[in-house]
Amino acid sequence: MRHTKTVTVPEHTEEITEYITCDLCGAKKQYYGFTQETVNIRYDCFIPGSFVVDAKHEKIVVDMCPTCFKTVFLAWLKEKYNFVPDCVSI
Site of interaction with Zn ion (CB under 5 A): 22, 24-25, 27, 65, 68
Pairing status of strand 39-47 against strand 56-64: antiparallel
Tell me how far, at minimum, the Cβ of 17 lies from Zn ion, in Å: 17
Nearer to Zn ion, 22 or 59 (CB): 22
Tell me how far, at minimum, the Cβ of 65 lies from Zn ion, in Å: 3
Residue 61's identity, in one-letter code, is: V
User: For residue 85, what are the contacts with CB-CB under 8 A and spacing of at least 6?
Assistant: 74, 77
Residue 77's identity, in one-letter code, is: L
Are 33 and 19 contacting, i.e. CB atoms less than 8 angstroms apart?
no
Nearer to Zn ion, 24 or 62 (CB): 24
Tell me how far, at minimum, the Cβ of 25 lies from Zn ion, in Å: 3
Nearer to Zn ion, 20 or 65 (CB): 65
